[in-house]
Amino acid sequence: MNDHYFRKGFGLKHEVADSLGDDYHSSIIDRIREQDFSTTAGGVTIRLAKEFGFCYGVDRAVEYAYQSREKFPDKRIFLVGEIIHNPHVNEKMERMGIKIINPGSDGIFDFSHIQADDVVLMPAFGVRVEDFQTLRDIGCVLVDTTCGSVLNVWKRVERYAKDGVTAVVHGKHYHEETKATVSQATKYENGHYLIVRNLEEADLLCEYLRGNILVDEIRKTFGHKVSAGFDFTKHLVSVGVANQTTMLASESMEMARRIGEAMKDRYGEEQLDQHFRNFDTICSATQERQDALLELIEEPLDVMIVVGGYNSSNTNHLTKICSARVKTYHIADAACIDPETGVIRHKPVDTDGEVSAAGWMDGAARIGITAGASTPNNKIGEAIERILQTRGVDATV
C-alpha cells in the first residue's frame, strides 16, 4: 500500500528467532513428538494430538510483533486489542513495551491518542474497516498481522456485498474476527450481513426463509446481529454463507446445508443458484486440529486435557468435541493443576465460569492432551509437567 503499511514483516526473522524460542519453546513437547506423540511415566501414558497449539497465522502474528519491536526500538508501539486469545502472549507483548488498546464498553476503539509517528499492530483477527481507515488517516505505521485464512473469508464477504448478496456469517457477533469480517460488507452501499451463532439459530432462520414464521419473531433473535438498515423481507432474498474461521467446522458445514435446503424449498432447485451461495471458508488449521482431536479420542482415554485461553473460540470448540466422548478439562494454563492437592481448576464446556475438581486423576492411566491455536508450546509443556508431578514424576529433568 505504502511505506507506512506492512503485511510481510521486516525481514528480521533471524534476528527474533532466539527470543521467540526462549519465550515459547518446550523441550518436553519436542521429546513427546519424537516418541510418536506419547510418553509414559508414573503409571500414566500421555498422548498428544498430532496437530495442536500455535497455527501458522498465530505464529506469524506473534513473530511480526517481535519484528516490529526490533525494527522500531524507540517508537511507541500499540496493539489493537489482543494479538491472539492467550493471556500469557498478550502479557508478553506488554512487557515488550507494546501497549494494548482495549475497546470501550461499547466495543469501540479510541484512537485519539495515536500519533503519526507511532506504530500500530493489527491482530491476527484483523480489524474493522472503519478502524483501519481511521488509523490510515492518522498516518501512523501499520503492521498488519491479519491471518491469511481470515482474509480469504473477507474476500468472500466482500464479493457477496459487491453482488448484492447478504452474507450469513456463522460466528459470535461480539468476537473481534466476526466484527472485522462483517464490516467488509459495509464497503458497498448494498452490502448487508446477518450473524448466526449456532444450529438452533440457523433453524430459526430457515423457518423464516420457508415462510413459517413472521418478521417480528425472527427480529427478536437477530435484530442486534445484522447490518445497519437491514430489512428482513428484502435482504434475505439472496444469501451467501461464510464463517468465523475458529468455529466448529462440522457445525459451519451443517449450517450451510440447512440454509441451502431452506432456500431450495422457498425458490425451487432450478432457481437456487440465484438465491444461495456457499463457499468453503473453513480455516485449514482449525480443521486440522479438530481432525487430530477426533483421531486421538478414538483411542481409549480416561481423561482429556485442553489447554488454552478461556476466551479462545477454537479452544472452546476443541473442548466441546472431546467432552462428548471422554471426561474433559479445559484449563487456561498449568497453574490450574495443583500436584500437591490433586485439584484441577477448569472451565466446563459451554459455560463462562471456572470450577474446581478434586481427585481428577484418580484411576486415570491414559490422558490425552491438545491445545487451541493460540496456545504456545511452553504452556502445553508446563501443563504436562504438572500432570506428571501429580503422579510424583519430575518431568523437567
48 and 92 part of one domain: no
User: Which residue type, as a one-letter code, is found at position 260?
Assistant: G
Residue 306 Cα to chain centre, angstroms: 15
Count of alpha carbons within 13 Å of 374, Cβ hemisphere only? Answer: 26
258 and 187 part of one domain: yes
Rounded Cα distance between 67 and 11, Å, is 8
Quick check: is 13 in a domain?
Answer: no
pTM: 0.92
Look at the chain and count its residues: 397
The reported pLDDT for the residue numbered 2 is 61
The reported pLDDT for the residue numbered 394 is 83
Residue 359 and residue 344 in contact, taking contact as beta carbons nearer than 8 Å: no
Q: How many domains does the chain divide into?
A: 3
Which CATH number is 44's domain given?
A: 3.40.1010.20
Please name the residue that has the C-alpha cell 468453503: 280
62 and 161 part of one domain: no
69 and 122 part of one domain: yes
Task: Summarize the confidence of residues 225-254 as an average pLDDT.
Answer: 94
167 and 226 part of one domain: yes
261 and 175 part of one domain: yes
The reported pLDDT for the residue numbered 395 is 72
165 and 139 part of one domain: no
397: confidence class by pLDDT, cuts 50, 70, 90: very low
* Catalytic entry in 51, 177, 201, 385: 177
54-100 residue pLDDT tens: 999 999 999 999 999 999 999 999 999 999 999 999 999 999 999 99
Burial of 48 (0-12, 13-18, 19+ CB in 10 A): buried
Rounded Cα distance between 374 and 368, Å, is 18
Quick check: is 173 in a domain?
Answer: yes
The reported pLDDT for the residue numbered 396 is 64
Whether the per-residue pLDDT at 249 is higher than 90: the answer is: no
277-294 residue pLDDT tens: 998 787 888 899 999 999
Quick check: is 14 in a domain?
Answer: no
102 and 198 part of one domain: no
Q: Is 82 a catalytic residue?
A: no
81 and 40 part of one domain: no
- Average model confidence (pLDDT) across the chain: 95
Per the structure, the complete domain to which residue 333 belongs is given by 25-55+285-390
Largest Cα separation within the chain, whole Å, is 67
159 and 251 part of one domain: yes
Quick check: is 196 in a domain?
Answer: yes
Residue 124 and residue 150 in contact, taking contact as beta carbons nearer than 8 Å: yes
Q: Which residues of 288-313 are buried (b: 16+ CB within 10 A; e: fewer)?
A: bbbebbeebbeeebbbbbbbbbbbbb
